[in-house]
Amino acid sequence: MKKFYLAFSFVFLSMLLLAGCVSEKETYTITWEHDDGTTLYVDENVSSNDIPVFTGTTPKREETHFYSYTFKGWTPSVGRATEDKTYTAVFEKTNKYTDSDNLDFELLGNDTYQLNRYQVTSTDESVIIPSIYNDKPISTIKINAFNGASNIKTLGIPSSIRDIKSGTFSNMVNLETIIVDESNSSFSSKGGLLFDKSQTTLLKYPEGRPQKTYLIPNHVTTVGEYAIFKVASLENIIIPESVINMEWIAINRTKDLIIYTEVNSEPEGWVVGWSDPEGPVYWKGEWHLVDYGIPTPN
């Protein structure tokens, strides 16, 4: 009888130990993440072979000027719990763009489209140029395509644009902000201004910006044609010594605009006619800054 109890005790203890081992493996930790890596929800007690359920708020992704986003599910596909696992939210991206009825296009020889003209009779204050037309990319914006579009305050340039002709955005008197899709390989924007991708060339200072003084950033080496064109509010421009090239009519003055430079004399790379009409230019040593960074002649 004693042997029986010993055997029974051994079997019982073995079952307890086995049950303990099994119980340690019966639950798993399931983590739910946003596609930006943010943790949305963690469930540390999902039973083995159960299908985990996300009980948090439906994930959302903030819209940009170019895209809106809709939550579509998770990756990888949710399945039965057999191990600790992380699921990441998946969003469907939808292009936001201006109705192409207000835009005129031309098919080019390279099988891409050129935007020839925006209908200036439109009243849109925000215009997002589409990246695709008739299933082909829009690669070019023609000279004067937006000339005179006084209604536009914000303009979005998509990733597909590779060529913007000079003077394209002239006489847009209320334009305050230009935004470029970050995936564009040719152009970029910073602070609402248009630059080339490396941001060494200033291509457009919007005419409707309200600031009275503009200090060109010292990462800029070139100011392009018509980059600063009749900006009514501008009274002062400060050109740093980094700017070694000024293209033809880089600055088209209003009558009140004064130019201050951080160089002693006109560099060789500043072409004849870089400023039109001619007006006061103060070179290094001829001016100083007063309160709040406002330049004034000595």
CATH number for the domain spanning 242: value is 3.80.10.10
* Omega of the bond leading into 59 within 30 degrees of 0 (cis): no
What pLDDT is recorded for position 98?
A: 75
Pairing of strands 163-164, 287-290: unpaired
Q: Which strand (E) or helix (H) includes residue 67? A: strand 67-75
What pLDDT is recorded for position 257?
A: 93
What pLDDT is recorded for position 291?
A: 82
Q: Which of 46, 65, 95 marks a domain boundary? A: 95
Q: Which strand (E) or helix (H) includes residue 27? A: strand 27-33
Is 270 strand, coil or helix? strand
Count other C-beta atoms under 10 Å from residue 24's C-beta: 8
The region, left, alpha or beta by phi > 0 then psi within -120 to 50, assigned to residue 75 is beta
Which tokens hold the place of 260? 């201050």
* In-domain check, residue 9: no
* In-domain check, residue 2: no
Q: Which of 73, 95, 117 marks a domain boundary? A: 95
Q: Which of the residues in the chain have pLDDT under 50?
A: 2, 4-8, 10-13, 16-19, 21-23
- Residues 274 and 139 placed together within one structural domain of the fold: yes
What pLDDT is recorded for position 292?
A: 78
CATH number for the domain spanning 45: value is 2.60.40.4270
- Residues 191 and 248 placed together within one structural domain of the fold: yes
Contacts of 26 (CB under 8 A, 6+ apart): 47, 48
Domain with 35 in it = 26-95
